[in-house]
A = this chain, B = another copy of it.
């Protein structure tokens, strides 16, 4: 019989902010120690943020990271931390090529005890698929690290190690591990949560040990880490669960591998998928804005559903006083659209202004003689110039409001409605935009708040309003059909024939797939936005622009 009080520390580091991240780690360690913790475990790369991409190839970055580990170790050697063991994720220099200046790192967990690093584990399995490029920057480790805390044997592994068979994880039971610490930088995807829990349960049961899974939280460019750290006993029972999308610290008392009890209140369930998706979008936007030194955002409000949802996400993330909506009506804008844009702004108290485009568009039309599609694109580009002008004038980040479905088929004007540094709906297909809008309204209603999104924006047929009586379905199939075809092609990599076999007309499938392929160049120049599905555009899906394959 022994007793070990374990703290799971779910922090939100900023990539490269070594000093600030270290200060945060020290503060959390202090809180954990005050609460009686013997052991505190942080997430993968908690010291540097994650993913660090090619920063891992810079010698100076790795040297400064190591110096920061040293400083932290010294600070943890003072008497206030007596008896506390700290496990911390960070990269470490493995080798460097003097000629090229290129360094190679390992993805490590350091165990800090009694004023020194008593051991360092290097991640064994390096993910090199989806958004991950870890073979590019890391070399794998191949040894398990086990150490003693209060008479319990504790081992460490890192993230991908539990997603692949073999390697150190398979040796946990052989090493008589009581408690396995799993450090993670695992980005949010809708539905991914249950797969993580399944893997950790599996590991606990197969290797006969308790397991503490600690994940990062917060947004980093196109990824959102949701936290949702968990503790599971050796019978595979879920004992503790940390918050999603928030920094959190939870204590559990480990008497033996099969006897774990959580300290204080907590919840083992989490809200539904729509709540999770919404909060991922809010977290992604909030952290992109905050970590890049902005305080406010500007976006076009067309009265349509996409800009309404974007504005609401922004208001939830930053407060409505930091959101600036601009209505930019043209001769083709309906009164309804203008009213809906204003209504949207008023519901949440978003800043609102109107900038008609007629007097800006006309001189271009007459000087260049633009008609048809060129004239439609012109309107969108004039709006882009307005938004960027206001962004430059006031130092606001411009949001681009396009959704994943538009991005897929290229239904947008490049340098027009695509302008902006961040695209909140980049990975949200049109049908999910509607679903989230309805969910957000009912969430407000249930809490006795004003529904933020005008019903008219949800119900009216979507239109770019770039010519008289235009609707999206002039150029595209119904969105529920389109999203099904895109799911099959983009997410599941199905062939034309396989998609036709699902029951869609061949000519339609061919047309849609061609639109997707031909828009690759536009997507390459698009803003980043938060990945929330298993296949986001961006580094998750890497295809040539020049590509003649049809199949």
Q: Which residues between 411 and 440 of chain A lie within 8 Å of chain B, taking CB atoms?
A: 414-415, 419, 421
**Chain B nearest Cβ from A152, distance in angstroms:** 37
Assembled-state Cα–Cα distance A402/B103 (Å): 30
Closest CB in chain B relative to A169 CB, distance in Å: 21
Which B residues are CB-close (under 8 A) to A369? 393
A14: chain B residues within 8 A (beta carbon): 546, 548
Q: Decide yes or no whether A495 CB sits under 8 A from chain B.
A: yes
Say if the beta carbon of A347 comes within 8 Å of chain B.
no
| A545 and B525 in contact, given A360-B363, A370-B389, A385-B381 (Cβ under 8 angstroms) | no
Asked if A480 CB lies within 8 Å of chain B CBs, one says: no
The answer, yes or no, to whether A147 is at the interface (CB within 8 Å) is no
Q: Is A15 an interface residue (CB 8 A)?
A: yes
Tell me if A388 counts as interface (CB < 8 A to partner B): yes
Say whether A493 contacts B547, CB under 8 Å: no
Which among A20, A53, A136, A498 has the greatest number of chain B C-beta atoms within 10 A? A136
Chain B proximity mask over A96-107: 1 for CB below 8 Å, otherwise 0: 000011110000
What is the bound-complex CA distance between A377 and B378, given in angstroms?
Answer: 18
Report Cα–Cα, A53/B525, bound state, in Å: 18
A64 at the interface (CB under 8 A from B): yes
Q: Are B393 and A374 in contact (CB under 8 A)?
A: yes
Interface residues of A in 376-390 (CB under 8 A from B): 377-378, 381-382, 384-386, 388-390
Q: Does A549 interact with chain B (Cβ within 8 Å)?
A: yes
Query: In the complex the two chains form, is A15's CB within 8 Å of B544's CB?
Result: yes
Interchain CA distance A382-B415 in the complex, whole Å: 11
Nearest chain B CB to A361 CB, angstrom units: 9
Tell me the complex Cα distance, A102–B496, Å.
16
Does the CB pair A64–B551 fall under 8 Å? yes
Check if A389 sits within 8 Å of B415, measured CB to CB.
Answer: no
Q: List A residues 33-74 near B (Cβ within 8 Å).
A: 51-55, 57-61, 64
Using A16-B548, A20-B548 as known contacts, say yes or no to A368 and B388 having CB atoms under 8 A apart: no
Which chain B residues lie closer than 8 Å to A495 at the CB level?
58-60
Task: Check if B61 sits within 8 Å of A551, measured CB to CB.
Answer: yes
Q: Which A486-533 residues have C-beta < 8 A from chain B?
A: 492-498, 521, 524-528
Given A15-B547, A363-B363, A527-B525; A392-B421 close (CB under 8 Å):
no
A116 within 8 A of B: no
Question: How long is the Cα–Cα vector from A381 to B419 in the complex, in angstroms?
Answer: 11
Knowing A493-B59, A527-B525, the reply to whether A544 touches B377 (Cβ < 8 A) is no
CB distance from A38 to the nearest CB of B (A): 32
Whether, in the assembled complex, A444 has its beta carbon less than 8 Å from a beta carbon of chain B, the answer is no
Residues of B within 8 A of A20 (CB): 548
Among A15, A51, A129, A415, find the residue whose CB has the most chain B CB atoms closer than 10 A: A415
Instruction: Report B-chain residues with C-beta under 8 Å of the C-beta of A53.
Output: 542-544
Contact between B60 and A101, CB atoms less than 8 A apart:
no
The chain B residue with its CB closest to the CB of A371 is B393
Determine which residue in A61, A220, A392 has the highest number of CB atoms from chain B within 10 A of its CB, and name it.
Answer: A392
A residues 299-345 in Cβ contact with B at 8 Å: none
| A2 at interface, CB cutoff 8 A | no
Are A55 and B544 in contact (CB-based, < 8 A)? yes
Q: How far is the CB of A125 from chain B (nearest CB, A)?
A: 12
Question: Which chain B residues lie closer than 8 Å to A55 at the CB level?
Answer: 543-544, 547, 549
B221 to A546, Cβ gap below 8 A? yes
In the bound assembly, the distance between CA atoms of A33 and B75 in angstroms comes to 75
A275 CB within 8 Å of chain B: no
Q: Are B378 and A389 in contact (CB under 8 A)?
A: yes
Interchain CB contact (< 8 A) of A51 among B136, B389, B544 = B544
Q: Complex: how many Å from CA A497 to CA B60?
A: 9
What residue of chain B has the Cβ atom nearest to residue A422's Cβ?
B521
A290 to nearest B CB, angstroms?
A: 10
Give the distance to chain B from A58, nearest Cβ to Cβ, in Å. 5
| Given the contacts A221-B545, A370-B393, A544-B52, A551 and B364 also touching, CB distance less than 8 Å | no
Evaluate whether A415 and B392 lie within 8 angstroms (CB atoms) in the complex, with A16-B544, A544-B15 already known: no
Q: How far is the CB of A545 from chain B (nearest CB, A)?
A: 5
Residues in A265-293 with C-beta less than 8 Å from chain B: 287-288, 291-292
Shortest C-beta distance, A56 to chain B (Å), equals: 10
Name the residue on B nearest A392 (C-beta).
B374
- 9 example contacts (A-B, Cβ-Cβ < 8 A) are as follows A15-B547, A53-B542, A54-B543, A220-B544, A377-B388, A378-B389, A388-B415, A415-B419, A421-B521
Known contacts A414-B419, A415-B415; 17 additional CB pairs below 8 A are A14-B548, A16-B550, A55-B549, A103-B493, A128-B135, A128-B136, A287-B546, A288-B546, A291-B548, A364-B385, A364-B386, A368-B389, A370-B393, A378-B389, A381-B389, A384-B415, A385-B385
State the 6 A-B residue pairs at the shortest beta-carbon distance, nearest first: A16-B549, A60-B495, A374-B392, A17-B548, A16-B548, A101-B493
